[in-house]
A and B are shown apart, each in its own frame.
Chain A
Amino acid sequence: MNRLLALVLVAGRRLAGGLLLLVGATFLIYFTIRSAPGDAIDAITPMGTPPEVKEKLAADFGLDQEPLAGYVTWLGRSAHGDFGESLVTVTGEEVMTAALPAFRNTLLLSFAALLVCQVLATLLALVLGEPSSRQQVLTGALYFFTAAPSFVAAIFFSQALNAGIRHFVDTNGYEPPDWYPIPIDAKSIMQYVFAGLMLIAGDGLFMDMFNTVRAEISAVRNAQFIAAIRAKGASTAPHTLRNLVVPFISAFAARLPLVLGSVVIVEYFFTLDGAGYLLLEASKQRDFPIVVGLSVLFTLSIIVMNLVADVVRAAIDPREVARNG
């Protein structure tokens, strides 16, 4: 019972912190966008529009309040689930109607990419075992090829693949696949597969994950209790696995913000219907309801991910509970 109570406490504390973070983040974003020179009204009215007409439009778009008062109003409304309407990007559409499907795509892509990245990194760590000088050629090469920013990787990758397929088709007379040339169609699943690959292969994500995972595996393998279990002749696997769950989830949660950052540009390149694309378009046009609405979703996803990581950690590792309880 005590342990459950401690778990609830951990979750509650995290949630409260998360809510504060959410309010702080949305305030910052709302304020920055509203204070940036050039607003949505300027973007859509002709030069020389009489001020009274602009005022009318501003009122229509909820831009007639000062940023601070405007934020308070926004906060009140959004607490009831009303995030306003898009001003320019998808003019007149409710923010969440536009943002949620896009965000779902982005989140799925990011989670899938991160998961695949972690699995691959783990496999590589298991195959390679402890670091040795012989491995340096391989790891060096991997560092080299995964260091480029993901959008640069995307450009090179698509060029090479397009040219390769073209050459193959020309010399053999086969029909090219539906998803060729890249990037073609937002509805093709291959665009998401390629985008995911670029997320893994870019920004140094893979090698960063690999190093963390290998260090964790090595730490558990060399731990005294494993030596003790081995000395007793029992199987070490269940204990190794159990002790790896926490660091693995932490590694995953810690990299989610990075991936959510990279995905913005990668989506733009692969013409995916995602939140990153929507966010860039909306910021360019000062469509603040969309930008703030999306920020809520991005922040929420990170808060939830951390919450899940904490609860799992607390559930598995009694020391966590002791620390927090």
Chain B
Amino acid sequence: MSHRSLRRLALALCLLFGAGTAQAQQTFHYPEDTRPTSLLPFFAEDMSAVRMVELIFDSLVFVNKRGDIDKGLATSWKLDDDQGGIKFVLREGVKWHDGEPFTAEDVVFTIQAAQDSKTIFNAKSKFEFIREVTAEGQYGVHIAFGRPIPDAEKRFLFKIIPKHAFTGTAISRKDKFAREPVGTGPFRLKKGGFSLRSIALEQNPDYWNASKVGEVQMQHTPDKSAQINLLQYSGVKAGVQAVIFLPPKNIPLFENSDSVVLEPYHTVSWWYMAFSHDNKSLAETPVRQAMALAIDREELLEAHLGKGDILTGPFTESSPFYNFQVEKPAVDIERAKQILEDAGWKAKGDVRMKGKSKLDFEFVMDKELASNQALFLGIQAQLKKIGVTVRPTYVDHARYRDQVFTRRKFDLTLNIWSFEEVEDVYPLFHSKGVMNFIGYNNADVDTLLDTARATKDYKKYKEMMKQLHALLAKELPYFFLWSLDIYSGVSKKVKNVYIQPFYYFTSFAEWELAP
């Protein structure tokens, strides 16, 4: 076939399959790795749901580009004189997507529903500090705290749901609202917009800060190479305008691209290697310290995940709680060996032993974790140098949760914690913490966390968190690894892009789509 006839064929194909109809409204398309399982804010637990909920719902306040608390559904707020509560004045004239008016009753309902013992969701502990909520007229809400809360405004980033859409405060996951959400946010669900693979939203015409984009369409595209393909070949009308997370290996593809910009953004999240303290050998601090000295985090990070910050404690470097005075110890195999010798662990062949105990551990890996096999092999090789053997168990995500978090059947594991605005590590390291799956129990850490929780003074709280950072860096309940530099790929047709840490779409109203 000649070049010319090829051209004709392609042209015919283009004509045949409907090229040429101009789009009336600008639609912002983006792919997601996972399907949002629920659009009911309490149950929006995966990041794809968090992002979607950010477009459909509003919170009383939100964190703006500068990192300050800004007006959302509340236009002003004031802490009580004794700091035991807060009063919000609500925005007037706001309507739910179904046309009903938004009032203080909705805020009261949201909090009461979240606190109802029959409403079961992951982030329930975020509402535990509220003792009582009362409506004061149609547009005023008073919230009394059950304990002192430093930096209280930041606790009100949760989304408000409409009272009239539910029959009571006990909300089931199975509620239809999860598929037919009604919010006050800048976008509402399009008619028939909720399908298995995609969710389509349209602009909320009543919104006080109308978005410049007409429609938003999320498509579940689990295959990363397909996502990259879509972004790379994004056409005039079709394609996607952003890929939320670009894997490091795909970044060079867009570094000098004339159609795509790499947008860095923060996810308040960090990686860690957890030691199960139910394992007697790992409960010995010197063993954990020696293992930490043997693992070359920089090498692992660069080889398998790209760029990021090596961390020394349970906060990211951009956190107000990060303690920069804690030193990053360099890899030191000799010192690691010495520490083990001193603690009575003698080398016998390839592995170190003390009495009948061996430094031989089961390393449980979530198959969904990025680069999990490569990271494991790197860690295995590095630990071998000091006579520590690790054996891998790769499991799928559901099984991982069961084995590691519920049954706690593991010695070592690698994982990530992500935080919203409030970086609360109490549940992770307090001996009674609900997320302390490593069985960690240290009296000093408990005291520090309890005192911090009881303080009203944000400055003091910050200081205590820095102390905690230093203490945990020495104690090593986890080996703190790194936080990654995350990049989104965004089409150059999108202007005014600012990506909010964690929530992603907070400032989406300002994004513009060039024709």
For A57, the chain B residues whose CB sits under 8 A away are 120
For A46, the chain B residues whose CB sits under 8 A away are 121-125, 434-435
> Which residues of chain B from 81 to 121 have any CB-CB distance to chain A below 8 Å in the complex?
117-118, 120-121
Q: Does any Cβ of A come within 8 Å of B318's Cβ?
A: no
Q: Is the CB of B195 within 8 A of A92?
A: no
- Most chain A CB within 10 A, of B21, B197, B198, B435, is at B197
A184 — nearest CB in chain B belongs to which residue? B238
For A212, the chain B residues whose CB sits under 8 A away are none
Stretch at the interface among A13-21, A72-80, A175-183, A228-236: A175-183
For A36, the chain B residues whose CB sits under 8 A away are 398-399
Q: Is the CB of B197 within 8 A of A38?
A: no
B173, B234, B399: the one within 8 Å of A91 (CB)? B173
Q: Does any Cβ of A come within 8 Å of B400's Cβ?
A: yes
Min CB gap A255→B, angstroms: 26
Q: Is the CB of A37 within 8 A of B435?
A: no
A91, A176, A281: the one within 8 Å of B14 (CB)? A176
B45, B122, B123, B233: the one within 8 Å of A162 (CB)? B233
Main secondary structure of the interface of A (DSSP, over half): loop
The docked-state distance in angstroms from the alpha carbon of A85 to that of B221 is 25
Whether A271 contacts B220 in the complex (CB less than 8 A), given A42-B398, A285-B398, comes out as: yes
Q: Is the CB of B399 within 8 A of A178?
A: no
> Which residues of chain A from 160 to 208 have any CB-CB distance to chain B below 8 Å in the complex?
162-166, 168-169, 172, 174-186, 190
Q: Does any Cβ of A come within 8 Å of B264's Cβ?
A: no
The docked-state distance in angstroms from the alpha carbon of A92 to that of B399 is 23
A175 — nearest CB in chain B belongs to which residue? B19
The docked-state distance in angstroms from the alpha carbon of A183 to that of B174 is 31
A164 — nearest CB in chain B belongs to which residue? B10
A-contact 0/1 string along B414-454, CB 8 Å cutoff: 00000000000001000001111100000000000000000
Q: Does any Cβ of A come within 8 Å of B485's Cβ?
A: no
The number of residue pairs between A and B whose CB atoms lie closer than 8 Å in the complex comes to 178
Q: Is the CB of A89 within 8 A of B37?
A: yes
> Which residues of chain B from 376 to 406 have any CB-CB distance to chain A below 8 Å in the complex?
395-403, 405-406
Stretch at the interface among A120-128, A142-150, A272-280: A272-280
Q: Is the CB of A42 within 8 A of B235?
A: no
> Which residues of chain A from 29 to 43 have any CB-CB distance to chain B below 8 Å in the complex?
36-39, 42-43
For A155, the chain B residues whose CB sits under 8 A away are 225
Q: Is the CB of A272 within 8 A of B197?
A: yes
For B221, the chain A residues whose CB sits under 8 A away are 183, 271
Q: Does any Cβ of A come within 8 Å of B132's Cβ?
A: no
B11, B118, B176, B406: the one within 8 Å of A42 (CB)? B406
The docked-state distance in angstroms from the alpha carbon of A272 to that of B223 is 13
Q: Does any Cβ of B come within 8 Å of A28's Cβ?
A: no
A-contact 0/1 string along B210-251, CB 8 Å cutoff: 000000000111110110011011111111100000000000
A42, A183, A269, A271: the one within 8 Å of B402 (CB)? A42
For B124, the chain A residues whose CB sits under 8 A away are 46
Q: Is the CB of B219 within 8 A of A174?
A: no
B-contact 0/1 string along A42-54, CB 8 Å cutoff: 1111111100010
The docked-state distance in angstroms from the alpha carbon of A190 to that of B19 is 13
Min CB gap A83→B, angstroms: 15
For A93, the chain B residues whose CB sits under 8 A away are 179
Q: Is the CB of B238 within 8 A of A176?
A: yes
> Which residues of chain B from 1 to 37 have any CB-CB distance to chain A below 8 Å in the complex?
7, 10-11, 13-14, 17-21, 29, 35, 37
The docked-state distance in angstroms from the alpha carbon of A171 to that of B436 is 59
B14, B233, B396, B399: the one within 8 Å of A166 (CB)? B233
Q: Does any Cβ of B come within 8 Å of A102's Cβ?
A: yes
Min CB gap A53→B, angstroms: 6
Q: Is the CB of A277 within 8 A of B398?
A: no
B239 — nearest CB in chain A belongs to which residue? A181
- Most chain B CB within 10 A, of A49, A56, A89, A98, is at A49
Min CB gap B43→A, angstroms: 7
Min CB gap B211→A, angstroms: 22
B120, B195, B436: the one within 8 Å of A45 (CB)? B120
Q: Is the CB of A45 within 8 A of B122?
A: yes
The docked-state distance in angstroms from the alpha carbon of A240 to that of B139 is 83
Q: Is the CB of A177 within 8 A of B230?
A: no
The docked-state distance in angstroms from the alpha carbon of A278 to that of B196 is 8
A-contact 0/1 string along B310-337, CB 8 Å cutoff: 0000000000000000000000000000
Q: Is the CB of A37 within 8 A of B195?
A: no
Min CB gap B115→A, angstroms: 14
B121, B174, B176, B238: the one within 8 Å of A185 (CB)? B238
Q: Is the CB of B223 within 8 A of A281?
A: no
- Most chain A CB within 10 A, of B7, B38, B229, B397, is at B229
Q: Is the CB of B223 within 8 A of A177?
A: no
- Most chain A CB within 10 A, of B173, B219, B237, B433, is at B173
Q: Does any Cβ of A come within 8 Å of B471's Cβ?
A: no
Q: Is the CB of B17 within 8 A of A186?
A: no
Q: Is the CB of A44 within 8 A of B229?
A: no
For B362, the chain A residues whose CB sits under 8 A away are none
For B434, the chain A residues whose CB sits under 8 A away are 46-48
A91, A163, A174, A277: the one within 8 Å of B19 (CB)? A174
Min CB gap A156→B, angstroms: 11
Min CB gap B239→A, angstroms: 6
Q: Does any Cβ of B come within 8 Å of A6's Cβ?
A: no
Query: Can you list 23 A-B contacts (CB < 8 A)?
Result: A38-B397, A42-B398, A44-B173, A46-B434, A46-B435, A47-B406, A91-B43, A93-B179, A166-B233, A168-B7, A172-B7, A175-B14, A177-B14, A178-B19, A181-B230, A184-B240, A186-B195, A190-B17, A268-B222, A269-B226, A271-B226, A281-B35, A285-B398
Report which B residues bind A (CB closer than 8 A): 7, 10-11, 13-14, 17-21, 29, 35, 37-38, 43, 45, 117-118, 120-125, 172-176, 178-179, 195-198, 219-223, 225-226, 229-230, 232-240, 395-403, 405-406, 427, 433-437
Report which A residues bind B (CB closer than 8 A): 36-39, 42-49, 53, 56-57, 60, 85, 88-93, 98, 102, 155, 158-159, 162-166, 168-169, 172, 174-186, 190, 268-269, 271-273, 277-278, 281, 284-286
